[in-house]
Amino acid sequence: MRYDAIVIGTGQAGPSLASRLAKAGRRVAIIERKLFGGTCVNTGCIPTKAMVASAHAAHIARRGGDFGVKIGGPIEMDMRAVKARKDEISGRSRTGVEKWMRGLENCTVYTGQARFVSAREMSVGEERLEAELIFINVGGRAVTPPMPGLDQIPYLTNSSMMGIDFLPRHLVIIGGSYVGLEFGQMYRRFGSEVTIVEKAPRLASREDEDVSAGIKDILEKEGIHMRLNANCLAFERRGEDVAARVDCTEGAPEVIGSHVLLAIGRRPNTDDLGLDAAGVRTDKRGYVVVDEELRTNVPGIWALGDCNGRGAFTHTSYNDYEIVAANLLDGEKRRVSDRILAYNLYIDPPLGRCGMTEAEVRGSGRRALLGKREMTRVGRAVEKGETQGFMKILVDAESKQILGAAILGVEGDEAIHCILDTMYAKAPYTTLQRAVHIHPTVSELIPTMLGEMNPL
């Protein structure tokens, strides 16, 4: 079958791109091998944030007394109902994407594993498809590296976690970064005992040290056990349980839990795509090498989303679609480097992040200003009874442009956007400092913080 364009994968870039191309009159084929909507919709952002919401409800219910709310009896979880709610939200999104693609004029949906046969041809089962333009949006999956004993024990990943409808007695999470931390707090709030095992000396080690310490403090206060510096991991079965040898500098040499969740990173789904047959280059970790406009080394083939290693988020994958569509169809010249790094960590309170970290600013050697404010000094946080964390911002002393920020605190996931937008506007920090923000909000203290900066 001949098409004008083939899109591989229905994650966060593929469907929108297929839709744009089809509406522009191109004949499009889109191929999905598993679940429509990909990671975010089925095993990533949407289901985990739905579960974070259940965990938050339980947490607030337990804290009812702090707000003068009386609840008769202990707070108990109905894990089947938690899963059913999550499945409903995620399922609605999945069927929405599938219906959208199947109902699209000029677009044919194929289900099955796509493989390159040449730079212009793909196979899907018995079918052969051909097109001048091919867009790879195959995403990634959890890494399960060889670790002693791992093949002897049952373990969970972010995907298989979506299928469980019971409460693990003791969940041992291997990996103290974004995915592990979100699951850790969530299951602790559901009522599991939780231990987070991390080989680095601190959690979320790409963040600044004060941010890592703040996250640790928040989680430890909820009774999550931490085993940092876990350098020598090995597993073995102990009856019904699993023992993880951690070899940390502190504490017992092993952790015994009922379930193990591996959250130690992700890898791109490029190993079974037949990229060699097309001559598409990947780096040593398997990410498709792309230029600033997301073109691969083979003319006519692009790579979008997590599989190109230029982003690891839903919004970055969607922005990849915007870049490719604008350049191909609107005669624009958009580039990946126009994008400012921004993301959230959805523990509670959340971490909102954009731009450079303080460590990166220090490493750059430039003259900079730093503003910092504890959430105990943010009225909105006090009123809500959620005063953990802090916010900080970094500004270039010469250009006055904002370099980066972190808000670890209630509403930090939303408040970060006024800083991010000022960065996109390339406006000096004084523009934000003079903006009159609404009272009472977390954002209203950002101008105040900007007025109290000190040289870094």
Ligand X SMILES: Cc1cc2nc3c(=O)[nH]c(=O)nc-3n(C[C@H](O)[C@H](O)[C@H](O)COP(=O)(O)OP(=O)(O)OC[C@H]3O[C@@H](n4cnc5c(N)ncnc54)[C@H](O)[C@@H]3O)c2cc1C
Catalytic position from the list 56, 259, 417, 439:
439
CB of 78 to ligand X, least distance (A): 22
Closest CA to 219 of 345, 112, 323: 345
Pair 115, 272: CB distance under 8 Å: yes
> Whose Cβ is closer to ligand X: residue 34's or residue 377's?
34
- Work out whether 39 is an interface residue with ligand X (CB under 6 A): yes
Q: In the complex, which residue's CB is closest to ligand X?
A: 139
322 lies in the site for ligand X, by CB under 6 A:
no
| Whole-number Å distance between alpha carbons of 114 and 448 | 54
- Single residue of 19, 158, 282, 319 touching ligand X by CB under 6 A: 158
Measured from the CB of residue 262, what is the shortest distance to ligand X in angstroms?
12
Q: Considering beta carbons, is residue 294 or 405 the nearer one to ligand X?
A: 294
Other CB atoms within 10 A of residue 422 CB: 23
Q: Which range touches ligand X (CB under 6 A), out of 73-81, 244-252, 307-315, 370-378? A: 307-315
Nearest-approach distance from CB 279 to ligand X, in angstroms: 17
Q: Check residue 33 for interaction with ligand X (CB under 6 A).
A: yes
Cβ closest to ligand X, residue 158 vs residue 433? 158
| Angle formed at CA 124 by CA 298 and CA 320, multiple of 5 degrees | 45
Alpha helix (H) residue ranges in 126-208: 178-190
- Angle between helical axes of 79-102 and 45-62 (0-180°, round to 10): 150
For ligand X, the binding residue among 54, 137, 185, 192 (CB under 6 A) is 137
Cis peptide bond N-terminal to 350, omega within 30:
no
CA 42-43-49 angle, 5° bins? 95
DSSP 3-state of 114: strand
Q: Does 155 bind ligand X (CB under 6 A)?
A: no
String marking each residue 331-360 x if it binds ligand X according to CB under 6 A: ---------------x--------------
CB under 6 A: which stretch of 8-16, 84-92, 231-239, 347-355 binds ligand X? 8-16
Q: Is 255 helix (H, G, I), strand (E, B) or coil?
A: strand
Tokens 């944030």 sit on residue: 49
Kindly give the interhelix angle for 45-62 and 178-190, rounded to the nearest 10 degrees: 40
Q: Is 48 in the site for ligand X (CB under 6 A)?
A: yes
Q: Which is nearer to ligand X, 123 or 258 (CB)?
A: 123
* Stretch in the footprint of ligand X (CB under 6 A) among 11-19, 77-85, 241-249, 370-378: 11-19
What is the nearest approach in angstroms of ligand X to the Cβ of residue 201?
Answer: 24
Binding mask 82-111 for ligand X (x = CB under 6 A): ------------------------------
Dist. CA 141–CA 222, nearest whole Å: 30
Q: Which is nearer to ligand X, 215 or 248 (CB)?
A: 215
Cβ 286 vs Cβ 294: under 8 Å? no
- Give least dist CB 64 to ligand X, A: 28
CB of 119 to ligand X, least distance (A): 16
**Among 51, 114, 228, 356, contact with ligand X (rule: CB under 6 A):** 114
Count the alpha carbons within 13 Å of 367 in the hemisphere toward its beta carbon. Answer: 5
Sheet holding 241-245, edge to edge: 234-238, 241-245, 254-257
Sorted by sequence, the CB contacts under 8 Å of residue 34 that are 6+ apart come out as none
Closer residue to ligand X in complex, CB, 90/137: 137
- Told to check if 56 binds ligand X by CB under 6 A, we report no
Question: What are the phi and psi torsion angles at 433 (to 5°)?
Answer: -65, -35
Verify whether residue 439 is a known catalytic residue: yes
Closest to ligand X by CB, 123 vs 431, is: 123
Q: Is 73 exposed, middle or buried (0-12, 13-18, 19+ CB in 10 A)?
A: exposed
Site string for ligand X, 254-283 (x = CB under 6 A): ---------------x---x----------
* 3-class secondary structure, 29: strand
Report phi then psi at 199, rounded to 5: -80, -25
Q: Is 386 in the site for ligand X (CB under 6 A)?
A: no
Tell me the torsion sign for CA atoms 423, 405, 410, 319: positive
By CB under 6 A, tell whether 313 contacts ligand X. Answer: yes
Told to check if 212 binds ligand X by CB under 6 A, we report no
Contact 139, 268 (CB under 8 A): yes
Rule CB under 6 A: choose which of 28, 29, 45, 244 binds ligand X.
45
Binding site for ligand X (CB under 6 A): 8-13, 31-35, 38-40, 44-45, 48-49, 113-114, 137-140, 158, 179, 269, 273, 305-306, 312-315, 317, 346
Known catalytic residues are 439
